[in-house]
Structure 1
Amino acid sequence: MLRNKLLLTLCLIFAGIGAYAQTGSLTGRVLNTEGEPMEWTSVQIPKLGIGVSTDKKGEYVVPNIPFGTWEVEVMYLGYNTQKTKLTIGSAKVIKNFTLESSSENLEEVVITGTLKEVRKSESPVPVTIISSKIFQRNVTSNVLDALYQVNGINPQINCNMCNTSDIGINGMQGPYTMILIDGMPIVSSLSSVYGMSGIPNSIINRVEIVKGAASSLYGSEAIGGVINIITKDAQNASRFFLDYNASTWGELTGNTGFSANMNDNISTIFNVDGYYYNTPKDLDKDGFMDKTLQQRLSFFNKWNFKQKYNKTASISVRYYNEDRHGGELGWDPAHRGFVEYNEYDNDRNSGGYNGDYVLPNGYSIYNEKYAKGFRVPRFLNESDRSEWKKEVSAVHSDAAFAEDMKYQESIYTSRLEIVGRWQLPIKENVTLQASYNQHDQNSAYGTELFMAHQKTAFGQAFWDRQFGAHTLLAGASYRYVWFKDNTIASNNGTKPFETFLPGVFIQDLWKMSAKTSLLLGYRFDYDQTESANGNHQNAVHSPRVAFKYAPDSQNAFRASLGTGYRVVNIFSEDHRALSGQYEATFGENLNPEKSISGTLDYEGRVATEDIGLTYSLGAYYTHFFNKIYPKRDDRNRTLVYYNVDGDEYARYIGASVDIALNFNFPLRLTAGVSYNQAELFEYERDDEGNKVGDKIEASDFEFSPRWMGVYSAAYDFTPRFTVDLTGEWKGPMLLPTQGTMETFDAEGKVTGSMTDPRPERSPRFMKMNLQLTYRVGNVEIYGEVKNIFNYIPKNLLVNVDDPFNDRAGVYGGLQFDTEYNYTAQQGRTGYAGIRYRF
């Protein structure tokens, strides 16, 4: 009997050992909330004392795990540890993890809101961080196109002929956004319209965005907000990288670069980026190209230096060259530079004679060397055409004529940027920064030639130190802007626009407690501007206060109040004035624009074993003083610039919501919605801008939609295969239309009228893009369809048979113009590309 019990006990023991000996493996991938693989992340089962680290793709395999239910810990410094109970009951169990950065540990560092490095969670100023990885979720050739994915950011197309764009924040137009590269204000004024498309995504480490006035730190132009494009450091870049793609429209984009460590302290990165598109398309059959033809090339080189006391230095150089043109199909490039013949009489000694200068608008300076000859007007009959040519030849026997010249807008751009930063190799935190840029532009808008040259130099020094709960920062800066063109901005090239802008600033970041912090800032600038509009000197005071309250690590409230200003600057910002569609004049000596702006922001987080949710709510109010605006007279084709005065003002008010969802399976969702009300409150005025009543009237600003939003979804079918869905939508926005225009006969008598058929407000629309990415080792192969639903705006142009307004100028009616736009005309487009990093 005892023997049988002993045998039974031994059998049960061996059976248990056999059961326990059954093992399986746990495998999967670890990503951060932005979908980036996390290398060297620890995946452990503490009770069993086993664990592994992820590889560079974020993948891991934990082998030989006994069957059973175990608690798995996933840990990485600076991220919240994730603990999950998993049952191992088969040979292979797959589990992917998404880690959120922790506000209690090391996390993302931002500099844009306070000018010094602080953890994002501790900054009283809300800063939106856009990782370079996000740009790869949608095929774009430059940062301007990529920023369509950011809620509250409105890249606006200024011209449906040349496709130039700028970036607005919170409903404001592009000129009120300060764009920085590595903290330096070198993309502004002229280059904000033509230079942004030349910044390739491949050189960008991240983009930091501050919404709201920031002039207390950054001075002029930071009224609507700041976009700081931070380039990659050489020591952190791939040794070799490339990214090439092609589209079904015939676009070719290529990017190649490398980085190298010269020694332990010196490293460099070099990048070449190019874009080529030369396939005219006219899907709406209006006789004009839907997308501007472009050829651009950009070179970038950056050097990083390590110094004593862990201080760093860097210098970067970028050169950008572009040739773009769009317009009527069949344009002959040889006709570029032919202008209108503006002879008022045949007396060479009279003020009305300007035929010998062959210059637009009758001006006699600055364009003379660029004009090649005369465009032959589109006469109603051949006899009038022949008679006109005889009259011109009588004055200019060797006159060159452009027969049947097509309307085109052609822009040659050349740009040089130099940026340097040096932290002094001493124990104190002293930083010196300097930048220089030179922007040259040669443009032809039909027969109007726009030649512009701009130089901007900037220097800044600041010191910061912590005193207990206070972190003080103080500094001084100097900015010099020189600009010359052939418009009223510089009196046709005779009076260059110059701004001398010295400034000092101070800031105190006071950590009042573990939950609250207060930022107090003040800046003083002395604006000395000399221009054709008149000289002025202004002392500008820019205070700011920001407050943050975080009751716990999952919630944060922020509030800020600040002022903004912008020196008088209208050049390059109004396509109507530049292209000759309207004659621009100053109605008065313009004063700098000023504003006061307040923002409220709440950010919250919810994290469980199954889901991670981040959400933010924001609201803002901006009140403009001295707002500069053009009074447009469609009949006389004039733009007269004024400051709002007295009880007149401009107002921007709005709110936004952003959410990001991450699941314990590889799905990531984001969405954002913004509401903005941008209005001008002014007295009733006549066509010349004169006040005709005491009633204040409210009107919407053009190109500012009340509602707009973005969305995205990403899913990893396998660690190698990812699908990204991205998109944007916009509500109606006010657009510039001509209303009802009278028509005349040859004697100037009214014969009737014509009404602009284009709607005053744009329709609602949505665009969606789908991208597939497959990874093999260091290679990524991707394909995308953009604008899946093939949304194309309609009725953008009027009077397409008379683009030079030969007949409309005499007989009245609708004028040809290219300013009516609300989204790109490019329809559904397929892309295929490859990336490689080593």
Structure 2
Amino acid sequence: MKYRITKALLLLSLFIVSGLVMAQTPPPEPMCSIQGVITSEGNPLPFATITINNTTLGAASDIQGEFGFGYIPEGEFIVKAQAMGYKPSEQLVTFKNGVVSNIDFELETDVLGLEQVVVTADRNEKKRKDASTIVNTLTPKLLENTQAISIAEGLNYVPGLRLENNCQNCGFTQVRMNGLDGAHSQVLINNRAVFSNLAGVYGLELIPSSMIERIEVVRGGGSALYGSNAVAGTINLITKDPMSNSYDLTTQYNSVGLGGDGQAQGDYSVNMNTTIVSDDKRTGLALYGFYRDKDPYDANDDGFSEIAQIENLTMGARLYHRIDYRNKVTLDFMRINEERRGGNMFDSPHHEADISEAVDHKITTVAATYERFIGTGSMWSVYGSTQNVDRASYYGAEQSLQDYGQTDGLTYNVGTQFKTDFGKNSLVTGIELVHDDMFDQKLGYPDYSNPLPDGGFEHVPNTTITDQNKNVYGVFAQYDRQIGPVKASLGGRFDRYEITDLDHKEGNNDGNVFSPRVNLLWDVMPALQWRVSYSQGYRAPQVFDEDLHIETSGSRKVVYANDPNLKQETSHSYMTSFDFNHRFGVWNVGLLVEGFYTNLDDAFSKSPEFDEETGITTYVRSNTEDGAVVKGVNLELTATPNEKIYLRAGYTTQSSEYGEAVELGESDFLRTPNDYGFFSLDYNPTSKLTLIASGTYTGKMKIAYYGSELLPGETPIVIGDEDPGVIRTTPTFFDLGLKAEYDLKIGGLPIKAFAGVKNIFNSYQDDFDSGIDRDPAYVYGPTNPRTIYAGLKLSNVFGH
């Protein structure tokens, strides 16, 4: 593993150095500078960013809205000012040697976010309204309003997305998008697919909200740009770029389960980030940290947890340096240490508990990017990133010694990209390599049932479960053309994937895949846009993140495996949307109606097979001959009459169905409701007080139950070698939360005090399976019961 890490780092360094060597000869030392003030409605606008197009140069305004920086070359450039919630403003400026250019900006509010710059639509910066695909953005403000401690919790507030808990023991969660499970979505960090399959098991719940500038979500097939697994869509985590000197520290305490059947438990967290920028604005550093200590929660008072115990410590940094006005280098680092455990007897070793599901993650991520601006509208970048995962685990019951495990994973992504704008045309193209190494083994143990003649015991050695590596070599391109009110986008990606099973060999697989996509954007009128698209995606036949999670109880143990004849899954995604944004009197209203239809050829499905000798149930992933179809409609409403009130709501109605019966005779996707939604309402009665209401709705869904506590009239379904079980339909849930924030100063320090309650009505599952023989996968609905919280935030950013 150490050799693999060294190899990845050397390869990453090679790409960066090659970029620096190949860069064009730097221009003469620039001697011009700029200064000015940014305002909105006559008031100073702090922390707005000022950039000069086609250069690396930029800065942020201070508390008084003032800005200034130098090292600008002579010539004519477009200077742009922008801030979250405001329309960008541009001015053409002629810079002269030795002259300070005084330029002021007045920004208009952009309450509907149409002018916001996004990058996930086509790997290129552009305004949201100009993107040929719909891009939803989650800002730190929304994460803060909904009191999302981790990124995963905040994704409930995006149309078509829903967070669910899949395990009563360890709290394994996933984000479903447009009815498809988490493995169908590609998670990116700064546009890079470095989030490994191994890290994806608990994935987005590990990442703190403090490191994020915004989250961009694109629904629909994204394999044409981002490769394998981007079938349902992409979730792109954009980290904070240090542009000003700022700090932010938040601490809060949650009482989970207050007033419920179980005893309330604590959940304490601390979030911090700070940014530092050099006086010449050429170097910036962002530091962030997160600590969480969460106690296990027992909802039905049976002595076994329904919510896992978690301790998480995350630290990270982002550093950039502008070599000159054309060249920039950015470095990222993140380290996550997380321990989680579910079951009972938390003060005892795992093998002394009746049930223990536990994982200890140590995840290290390093990334580097070199950017070179060329001419007046082009940029070339070289990038590399790597993620190493060290995971110790235990999934066992009834004092088992044989269920300790160790998993090591290494993922790296290296590539180069070129993008250019020329007239009404733009082009993005690039090549990249994604490598994923995974080695999973069960650790050896003394077998006390086999004593040796000398008085000792037989020792069972380590057993390899998975030793797999995957290489994906990709070439991609997208061309955009503006033709009057219509914008056409044509893109495609060719991937060569090679999956090698280093242990059993029967898992070896390879293939060539071309993933096209076509998008049309028509500005029907100033207030109405129509989009239509077709895209193709795929998932390679590999070991996936959920395969490394094992459900455990005294009576049932569940593992996952691939069918030896498993083929790649291919998707055909069709989407159309109407995006309407208009001002009616004092009301600014935005309404999005989006239809989606996805056909999955050779769709992956999992059927349980029970082995009477071992007592283990194996969910075997295979291809369904008749595929699957997912279709539905997403709705999103944004409305605001003034700066004091802001409403955002979303609703999804859909169906997800295999072409044949899969589990327990069901063809419907299990755990997938036919309708779900959310809302968030902000009200600012005064400049210092904010009142927030938010909530999520979850409709009925079908779920499998394999426990022994059958309801009257229920008869277990027995099909072949499958475990006997029943299909149940869950009730609907409405999780309502209220929050209040107040800005104050103590000793001159700006402080925000906040308090609130999540899930006020305790709309929470009330029929958890109980005892050592429970079915731990029988869990559904909101991820948390009623929770009371309070905290403080210290920052020099809010209130401006």
Structures share a fold, TM > 0.5? yes
Query: Scaled by the length of structure 2, what TM-score is found?
Result: 0.76
* Contact kept? 1:604, 1:614, Cα under 8 Å: yes
Instruction: Give, in angstroms, the shift of residue 244 of structure 1.
Output: 0.7
- The answer to whether structure 1 residue 821 and structure 2 residue 773 are counterparts is no
Structure-1 residue corresponding to 2:531:
558
Q: Give me the whole-angstrom Cα distance separating, in 2, the residues matched to 1:642 and 1:203.
A: 36
- The answer to whether structure 1 residue 567 and structure 2 residue 557 are counterparts is no
* Contact kept? 2:169, 2:305, Cα under 8 Å: yes
1:200-599 mapped onto 2 (5 Å cutoff) = 200-236=208-244, 238-248=245-255, 249-264=265-280, 265-278=282-295, 280-328=296-344, 330-334=345-349, 336=350, 338=351, 402=352, 405-424=353-372, 426-427=374-375, 428-446=378-396, 447=400, 448-486=403-441, 492-493=463-464, 496-513=467-484, 515-531=485-501, 532=504, 533-574=506-547, 577=550, 579=552, 581-599=557-575
Instruction: Give, in angstroms, the shift of residue 534 of structure 1.
Output: 2.3
Q: Give me the whole-angstrom Cα distance separating, in 2, the residues matched to 1:186 and 1:653.
A: 29
Structure-2 residue corresponding to 1:795:
767
Deviations 1:427-463 (A, max 9, x none): 3411112110011211112243343211101012111
Greater Rg over alpha carbons, structure = 1
Structure-1 residue corresponding to 2:88:
78
Q: Give me the whole-angstrom Cα distance separating, in 1, the residues matched to 2:562 and 2:373.
A: 50
Deviations 1:512-536 (A, max 9, x none): 12x1100000110111111244212
* Contact kept? 1:737, 1:756, Cα under 8 Å: no
Instruction: Give, in angstroms, the shift of residue 736 of structure 1.
Output: 1.8
Instruction: Give, in angstroms, the shift of residue 290 of structure 1.
Output: 3.2
Deviations 1:460-504 (A, max 9, x none): 2111222332211111010111011138xxx95276111111111
Find 1:620's aligned residue among 572, 578, 596. 596
What SS class does the counterpart of residue 216 from structure 1 fall into?
helix
CA 1:457–1:560: 2 relative to 1, 3 Å:
same
Q: Give me the whole-angstrom Cα distance separating, in 2, the residues matched to 1:246 and 1:503.
A: 46
Deviations 1:340-393 (A, max 9, x none): xxxxxxxxxxxxxxxxxxxxxxxxxxxxxxxxxxxxxxxxxxxxxxxxxxxxxx
Deviations 1:253-311 (A, max 9, x none): 11223221235211101112100123x44342222123211111000111022243455
Structure-1 residue corresponding to 2:689:
721
Higher mean displacement: 668-677 or 317-326: 668-677
CA 1:683–1:794: 2 relative to 1, 3 Å:
closer
What SS class does the counterpart of residue 729 from structure 2 fall into?
coil
* Contact kept? 2:326, 2:374, Cα under 8 Å: no
CA 1:246–1:468: 2 relative to 1, 3 Å:
same
* Contact kept? 1:261, 1:267, Cα under 8 Å: yes
Where do 5+ consecutive residues of structure 1 fail to align?
A: 1-38, 44-51, 61-74, 81-96, 339-401, 688-696, 743-749, 804-815
CA 1:539–1:635: 2 relative to 1, 3 Å:
closer
Find 1:780's aligned residue among 730, 745, 752. 752
Where do 5+ consecutive residues of structure 2 fail to align?
A: 1-36, 49-62, 64-84, 91-107, 256-264, 443-461, 711-717
The one-letter code of the counterpart of 1:100 is: V
Q: Give me the whole-angstrom Cα distance separating, in 1, the residues matched to 2:662 and 2:440.
A: 33
Structure-2 residue corresponding to 1:700:
668
Query: Scaled by the length of structure 1, what TM-score is found?
Result: 0.73
The one-letter code of the counterpart of 1:276 is: D
Instruction: Give, in angstroms, the shift of residue 57 of structure 1.
Output: 11
The one-letter code of the counterpart of 1:658 is: E
- The answer to whether structure 1 residue 764 and structure 2 residue 754 are counterparts is no
The one-letter code of the counterpart of 1:671 is: A
* Contact kept? 1:737, 1:760, Cα under 8 Å: yes
* Contact kept? 1:175, 1:188, Cα under 8 Å: no
Instruction: Give, in angstroms, the shift of residue 538 of structure 1.
Output: 0.4
Q: Give me the whole-angstrom Cα distance separating, in 2, the residues matched to 1:641 and 1:263.
A: 59
Q: Give me the whole-angstrom Cα distance separating, in 1, the residues matched to 2:544 and 2:117.
A: 36
Q: Give me the whole-angstrom Cα distance separating, in 1, the residues matched to 2:742 and 2:513.
A: 54
CA 1:684–1:627: 2 relative to 1, 3 Å:
closer
The one-letter code of the counterpart of 2:513 is: V
Q: Give me the whole-angstrom Cα distance separating, in 1, the residues matched to 2:600 and 2:592.
A: 26
Deviations 1:38-71 (A, max 9, x none): x95443xxxxxxxx3256599x9xxxxxxxxxxx
Q: Give me the whole-angstrom Cα distance separating, in 1, the residues matched to 2:211 and 2:325.
A: 27
* Contact kept? 1:503, 1:523, Cα under 8 Å: yes
* Contact kept? 2:427, 2:477, Cα under 8 Å: yes
Higher mean displacement: 468-477 or 420-429: 420-429
What SS class does the counterpart of residue 243 from structure 2 fall into?
helix
Q: Give me the whole-angstrom Cα distance separating, in 1, the residues matched to 2:113 and 2:783.
A: 43
Q: Give me the whole-angstrom Cα distance separating, in 1, the residues matched to 2:606 and 2:272.
A: 44
Q: Give me the whole-angstrom Cα distance separating, in 2, the residues matched to 1:739 and 1:297.
A: 36
Aligned CA RMSD, in angstroms, stands at 3.0
* Contact kept? 2:196, 2:436, Cα under 8 Å: no
CA 1:172–1:633: 2 relative to 1, 3 Å:
same
Query: What's the % identity of the aligned pairs?
Result: 23
CA 1:768–1:704: 2 relative to 1, 3 Å:
same
Higher mean displacement: 425-434 or 198-207: 425-434
Structure-1 residue corresponding to 2:43:
53
User: How many correspondences in the alignment?
Assistant: 649
CA 1:203–1:585: 2 relative to 1, 3 Å:
closer
* Contact kept? 2:540, 2:568, Cα under 8 Å: yes
Structure-1 residue corresponding to 2:105:
none
Q: Give me the whole-angstrom Cα distance separating, in 2, the residues matched to 1:140 and 1:284.
A: 25
Find 2:623's aligned residue among 629, 640, 644. 644
What SS class does the counterpart of residue 434 from structure 1 fall into?
strand
Q: Give me the whole-angstrom Cα distance separating, in 2, the residues matched to 1:642 and 1:723.
A: 47
* Contact kept? 1:142, 1:197, Cα under 8 Å: yes
* Contact kept? 2:432, 2:475, Cα under 8 Å: yes
* Contact kept? 1:625, 1:649, Cα under 8 Å: yes
CA 1:77–1:503: 2 relative to 1, 3 Å:
closer
* Contact kept? 1:423, 1:431, Cα under 8 Å: yes
CA 1:230–1:215: 2 relative to 1, 3 Å:
same
Q: Give me the whole-angstrom Cα distance separating, in 2, the residues matched to 1:274 and 1:710.
A: 28
The one-letter code of the counterpart of 2:184 is: Y
Instruction: Give, in angstroms, the shift of residue 684 of structure 1.
Output: 8.1
Q: Give me the whole-angstrom Cα distance separating, in 1, the residues matched to 2:562 and 2:254.
A: 45
* Contact kept? 1:555, 1:604, Cα under 8 Å: yes
CA 1:669–1:257: 2 relative to 1, 3 Å:
closer
Q: Give me the whole-angstrom Cα distance separating, in 1, the residues matched to 2:268 and 2:559.
A: 38
